[in-house]
Amino acid sequence: MQESFRWFGPGDLVTLPDIVQAGATGVVTALHDVAYGEVWMPEAIAERCRLIDAGSAGLLAWNVAESLPVHERIKLGDGDLEPLFENYRISMRNLAAAGVTTICYNFMPLLDWIRTDLAVVLPGGGRTVRFAIEKHAAFDCFMLQRPGAEADYSDDVLTRARAWHDASTEADRDRLLSSIMAGLPGAYERYSVERLRPLIARFGAVEPGQLRTNLVRFLDAVCPTAEACGISLAIHPDDPPRPVFGLPRVVSTEADFADIFERVPSPANGLTLCSGSLGSSPDNDVVAIARRFAGRIHFAHLRNVAKEPDGSFQEAAHLGGDTDMVAVTAALLDAEAKRLATGGRAIPMRPDHGHELLGDIGRPFHPGYSMIGRLKGLAELRGVAAALSWRDGQHGQG
């Protein structure tokens, strides 16, 4: 796999020399300052490529655009969408012309990944991010005050949510809002509770079936261009893979992927195998998903989570948690070997959501994107891949 590292651009505390020292060869980045729905211009793409080349002494290349965002009107199916589709097609052509041929995107309405805590202290002193179901419910039921929200939670969760909210200070509630908003990448707009209410109400009126239809409409509009210019589109799973705040989700399960690929069979239509997003649901077998859709995996996010019976989870070490990362890596290597044998491309992979460790603790990184935790994760994943490759090579000689 092509070892890669996410970089949020010139303002990122993680530098390009840091990424070189980690041993990666690919940079996963985006033009976060470009508004949703606007064209990524050739000059801006070329400048980002120039920065990466100059900042890494030519040792790194921009290999994945994460994300070329899908405008919210497309998810809503709102109005004349052809201008937005055309802008997306132009941006794809511009990226392909610069050699960036993998695009990660998501179809999560309004909010990207959601966590309730960004600095949970681990037993050894490191820090991690967490999704606590009672805080999520407290925000939904008592801060957002979404009509009917209580029906989405068990009595036990609601009791704990009420207790947390009643005991919370204004600073606690502000911190919870900030944590929930932190999943929006780069410089994208953050929302207040007051601003969030009408937006959630608007998206909450969209049925899951309609959201899926809107996704298919988007893919039908852009996949022919992707095929023509050699772009691989890699949809990211919902994170967490369940409805949140009444918002519909349609990229959460193995059945969801099967339906998306059946309805849009274009080879450009693929997935980002995010082992952490998928693994946070007890209903998902990440290894089985990787094996079933091996030919559709265009990109991989490798991380792990530890789940709890009530639906809470937190980011674990890359080789810890509930998902068998050795088996996931083996599935990816098998998929890659088959495509390389027929002239296909290697699978870009990046370590996702590392812990805050050592000198990174408390520094203002993007949540989940400290340097040392991801460096540790990449080293561990590299070791797993090397061991599997050696084993398979020895087996072949036997």
* Catalytic (active-site) positions: 236, 274, 301, 352-353, 369
pLDDT value at 396 more than 50: no
Say how many C-beta atoms besides its own lie within 10 A of residue 250's C-beta. Answer: 23
SS (H, E, C) the chain: CEEEEECCCCCCCCCHHHHHHHCCCEEEECCCCCCCCCCCCHHHHHHHHHHHHHHCCCCCEEEEEECCCCCHHHHHCCCCCHHHHHHHHHHHHHHHHCCCCEEEEECCCCCCCCCCEEEEECCCCCEEEEECHHHHHHHHHHHCCCCCHHHHCCHHHHHHHHHHHHHCCHHHHHHHHHHHHCCCCCCCCCCCHHHHHHHHHHHHCCCHHHHHHHHHHHHHHHHHHHHHHCCEEEEECCCCCCCECCECCCCCCHHHHHHHHHHCCCCCEEEEEEHHHHHCCCCCCHHHHHHHCHHHEEEEEECEEEECCCCCEEEECCCCCCCCHHHHHHHHHHHHHHHHHCCCCCCEEEECCCCECHHHCCCCCCCCCCHHHHHHHHHHHHHHHHHHHHHHHHHHHC
- pTM as predicted: 0.94
d(CA 382, CA 28): 18
Nearest one of 353, 382, 66 to 232, comparing CA atoms: 66
Nearest one of 187, 132, 188 to 160, comparing CA atoms: 132
Cβ neighbours for 368, distance < 8 A, ≥ 6 positions apart? 129, 315, 352, 353, 354
C-beta separation of 250 from 212 below 8 A: yes
69 confidence band (pLDDT: 50, 70, 90):
very high
C-beta separation of 127 from 120 below 8 A: yes
187 confidence band (pLDDT: 50, 70, 90):
very low
pLDDT in tens, 135-164: 999 999 999 999 999 999 999 999 999 999
C-beta separation of 103 from 231 below 8 A: yes
Nearest one of 122, 185, 239 to 366, comparing CA atoms: 185
**Where do the domains of the chain lie, and which CATH numbers do they carry?**
2-114+199-397 (3.20.20.150)
Residue 392's pLDDT is 77
- Give the mean pLDDT of 375-391: 95
Nearest one of 370, 317, 167, 171 to 179, comparing CA atoms: 171
Residue 149's pLDDT is 96
How, if at all, do strands 102-106 and 232-236 pair? parallel
pLDDT value at 188 more than 80: no
pLDDT in tens, 190-213: 778 898 899 889 888 889 999 999
Residue 185's pLDDT is 57
Nearest one of 152, 189, 181, 236 to 72, comparing CA atoms: 189
pLDDT in tens, 80-128: 999 999 999 999 999 999 999 999 999 998 888 899 999 999 999 999 9
Rounded mean pLDDT of the chain?
94
pLDDT value at 397 more than 60: no
pLDDT in tens, 309-365: 999 999 999 999 999 999 999 999 999 999 999 999 999 999 999 999 999 999 999
Please give the span between the terminal C-alpha atoms of the chain, in angstroms, as a whole number: 25
d(CA 307, CA 302): 16
C-beta separation of 331 from 323 below 8 A: no
Residue 110's pLDDT is 85
